[in-house]
Homo-oligomer: A and B are copies of this chain.
Amino acid sequence: MIEFWYEFASTYSYPAAMRVEHLADQAGVVVHWRPFIVGPLFNEQQGLTDSPFNAFPVKGDYMWRDLQRVCDREGLPLHHPSQFPRNSLLAARVAICGLEDGWTPAFSRAVYQANFVDDLDISNPEVLAPLIASVGAGPEHVLAAAASAPVKDQLKDHVRQARERGLFGAPSFVTADGELFWGNDRLEQALDWAVRHQDMESA
């Protein structure tokens, strides 16, 4: 088992979301998708009110170049979004709605495609509606549910859990024994760890 903590506005969460299922399948590890919002953690831990990639342009310049290289290596398309970061709150709440029925992974990949390939505003319900329909759910019903108190509370609870696990960025991976890995480039190591821990449990 591995928890995949991701944020729809996060650039490196995009390749991680596109890679995680395939690599986890190969490793025989189950993925628990954990959409959350990283802004509150950035703010309370580092005093940031914007993405660190905007607050510190030299880091932003590097990140966009590195992300292009990462996507090139993985064969993933990338279009530098005309707005960054985009407000990810509504998309995260919709992703929460799909956890029980199992469409969260497919919906999440569609949101990343919208944000980082098609350059669409993922905070707009009209952008999200066809993505919800594409995974076989009912946009009207789901968007209403996403605005309900229980779903809002569940997303808040995800942020609380993320804080408890020591997260400070996205994407992050947490194994069953609580080991934390930060960044798309730690996905393979997180899966290795999860496999070795499973072995120990069954030994």
Contacts and interface: CB of A to CB of B under 8 A. Distances in A.
Interface string A146-183: 00000000000000000000101000000000001110
Nearest to A185: B185
Interface stretch (A30-38, A56-64, A85-93, A107-115): A56-64
Protomer copies = 2
Contact of A59 (B62, B168, B185, B189): B168
Contacts of A62: 166, 168, 180, 182
Contacts of A69: 189
A168 B58 CA distance: 7
B168 A56 contact: yes
A180 B58 contact: no
Interface in A185-199: 185-186, 189
Contacts of A180: 62, 65
Contacts of A185: 185
A120 B58 CA distance: 33
A45 interface: yes
A-B pairs, top 10 by smallest CB distance, nearest first, are A58-B168, A45-B58, A46-B56, A185-B185, A59-B168, A45-B56, A62-B182, A58-B166, A62-B180, A62-B166
Interface of A: 45-46, 56, 58-59, 61-62, 65-66, 69, 73, 166, 168, 180-182, 185-186, 189
9 contacts: A45-B56, A45-B58, A45-B59, A58-B166, A58-B168, A62-B180, A65-B180, A66-B186, A69-B189
